[in-house]
Structure 1
Amino acid sequence: MSEDPALPGLAEAAPVVKANHKGHRERLRTRFMEAPAALPDYELLELLLGLAIPQKDVKPLSKALIARFGSFADVITADLDDLRGVDGIGEVAAAGLKVVREAAIRLARAPVLNSSVISSWDALLDYCRTAMTTLPSEQFRLLFLDRKNVLIADELQQTGTIDHTPLYPREVVKRALALHASAVIMVHNHPSGDPQPSRADIDVTKAVKTALAAVGVSVHDHVIVGRKGHVSFKAMGIL
């Protein structure tokens, strides 16, 4: 039987495709090193996924993730189960995305640590936006301060639904006393994007303020963050 002439051609094509893929990734890496901010979201995500999935062309996967979640920030803050539901995302890739998110949060938090948060208010807002703005569900964080307004604890108190997070004044008081805190800043996000406070937001803020005042702890502010900005209850005259 004579050899099929098409077979050698197919065998030779594989390394060419591999070489082209490798060359593309190297060119993308060079562009990133020269001008990181110039890369669109899907290419930045492509570089990141390439570290977790080195043997595969991840450009289609990065575009699929952006199409599903909306942006680079939305991808790295997406729920783990939602990420795993995307074909091509395994545990290694999902972990890599979450490492990036945690790194961003820690970088944003660094300027706030060991200094008065009142004098570092812009840095505090940057941290809150980084940690919470693109989350798919509401979260309530409590920032506990000492007598010099230095941050002594940053704790996630509750995680709720897309439009509601329960917060219990008694638990806030209990934690403030355990930490010997002198003041508290309340922070939560609105996944809808609109940071304007609801009636429930205002009511729970007043309830927490009253409960803490009874044990000598003040509420410096309640900040709501969303894609459309942030609001400060103190600036609005609610506190």
Structure 2
Amino acid sequence: MPQDLQEAFQPELWQAAPARSRRAAKPKAEKAPHYTGHRERLRERAAQSLPALPDYELLELQLFRSIPRGDVKPLAKALIARFGSLPAVLAASIPELKSVPGVGEAVALDLKLLQETALRLSRAGVERRTVITSWSQLLDYVKLALAHEPREQFRVLFLDKKNQLIADEVMGHGTVDHAPVYPREVARRALELSASALILVHNHPSGDPTPSSADVAMTREIVEAARALRLTVHDHLVVGRDGVASFKALGLF
């Protein structure tokens, strides 16, 4: 046998070649993302006790439904950092929500749907009931509706003869420290709804619900306009993140 064929068929050389091929063909294991399994773990904790979860994890659970894949914890924390709290996130407008990187139209709409659901649940505790005897529920409702609004909003609760809620309407949108309201428009709307009484409500985006001198002057104008039409103004509530101030309780009527 020629020398070159003898070398080719040496056992040690023939056996070594497949081993090198096997080592070269073996794929490298890919490292799993750091958040692998996080959704399942968070869902398990939520099933055990939702109230025990911090706000950002509640927000994560909601974002799971809007963003089916990936790590949404950074987005949940970014939203709370941007707006200050979970209620403030839900109170933000769709354009404000979309200003946060990672929030698109669908995510913003899902968050606003969550806020609207909460508002309707809270309003159900006030509707078709005597508002005066459901005062704590009324305060809960106005806090949920207005405490985290970024701009002033003036609302009027129109009541019937039994002091049951007929309508809750926004009568003025404003800036961070002023919402224009016109007593004649409030009185006209009360007549259209056949209302017998009113509760005035507006918010202070600063967080401090203490009435200003302008608030007091405007309230007195509305009370006088209402009195001429035999409408009763039960109270004026000023809502802030720090609480709710009642004109009646403060002796400002």
Q: Give the TM-score category using the shorter length.
A: over 0.9
What letter corresponds to residue 198 of structure 1 in structure 2?
Answer: S
Q: State whether residues 160 and 195 of structure 2, in contact with CA within 8 Å, keep that contact through their aligned partners in structure 1.
A: yes
Distance between the aligned counterparts of 2:70 and 2:128, measured in 1? Answer: 44
RMSD, aligned CA: 2.0
Which one of the candidate residues 75, 94, 98 is aligned to 1:84?
98
Residue ranges of structure 2 left out of the alignment (5+ in a row): 1-20
Q: Name 2:240's counterpart in structure 1.
A: 226
Larger-Rg structure: 2
1:202 partnered with 2:216: yes
Q: Name 1:211's counterpart in structure 2.
A: 225
Q: Which region of structure 1 is more displaced relative to structure 2, 54-63 or 109-118?
A: 54-63
TM-score, length basis structure 1: 0.92
Residue ranges of structure 1 left out of the alignment (5+ in a row): none
The C-alpha deviation readout for 1:135-181, integer Å capped at 9, x for no partner, is: 11111111000111011111111111111000100100110000010
The DSSP-based 3-state class of the residue aligned with 2:132 is coil
1:106 partnered with 2:120: yes
Q: Alpha carbons of 1:7 and 1:183: their partners in 2 closer, same or farther (altered >3 Å)?
A: farther
Identity, % of aligned positions = 55
Q: State whether residues 66 and 110 of structure 2, in contact with CA within 8 Å, keep that contact through their aligned partners in structure 1.
A: yes
Q: Name 1:117's counterpart in structure 2.
A: 131
Distance between the aligned counterparts of 1:27 and 1:72, measured in 2? Answer: 22
Distance between the aligned counterparts of 1:103 and 1:157, measured in 2? Answer: 22
Distance between the aligned counterparts of 1:7 and 1:49, measured in 2? Answer: 39
Aligned residues: 233
The DSSP-based 3-state class of the residue aligned with 2:194 is coil
The C-alpha deviation readout for 1:176-195, integer Å capped at 9, x for no partner, is: 00001000000011111110
What letter corresponds to residue 200 of structure 2 in structure 1?
Answer: M
Q: State whether residues 79 and 136 of structure 1, in contact with CA within 8 Å, keep that contact through their aligned partners in structure 2.
A: no
Q: Name 2:18's counterpart in structure 1.
A: none
Q: State whether residues 189 and 195 of structure 1, in contact with CA within 8 Å, keep that contact through their aligned partners in structure 2.
A: yes
1:65 partnered with 2:87: no
1:13 partnered with 2:30: yes
Distance between the aligned counterparts of 2:209 and 2:220, measured in 1? Answer: 18
TM-score, length basis structure 2: 0.87
